[in-house]
Amino acid sequence: MGAYVDVSDATFEAEVLKSEIPVLVDFWAPWCGPCRMLAPHLEVIAKEYAGRVKVAKVNVDHNQAYAARYGVQGIPKMIVFKGGAQVADITGLPRSPVETLRALVNQAL
């Protein structure tokens, strides 16, 4: 199994909103250079927080409902959910991706 979960509009509620552990959702697209640059850092976070935080990826080209619902206007956009509620977010490729993502995730722990 990969370090992250691919999530669609059809599975978003079950995988993210009803998750028993916090979820870091990456809204991305394959044509987005910064999104591709962020991917290995998300893998690090997924492995580091395995069992405590789920990392999910939503391809906005194919799944627009939840991207629209959460106001995703630029990608990559990462949103942390806990108990179905949005607790933190960041848009763009951070200068220090792993450290920034850790800080984001730690807000939900």
CATH superfamily of 5-106: Glutaredoxin (3.40.30.10)
Q: Length of the chain in residues, anyone?
A: 109
Task: Report CA-CA distances (Å) from 10 to 45, 52, 58.
Answer: 25, 24, 11
Q: For all residues of the chain together, what is the average pLDDT?
A: 95
pTM recorded for the entire structure? 0.95
Contacts of 74 (CB under 8 A, 6+ apart): 91, 92
Which residue numbers are catalytic?
A: 32, 35
Q: Is the pLDDT of residue 1 over 60?
A: no
Distance in angstroms (rounded) separating the CA atoms of residues 22 and 16:
8
pLDDT band, very low/low/confident/very high, at 3 (cuts 50, 70, 90)? confident
Give the tens place of pLDDT for each residue, 39-53: 999 999 999 999 999
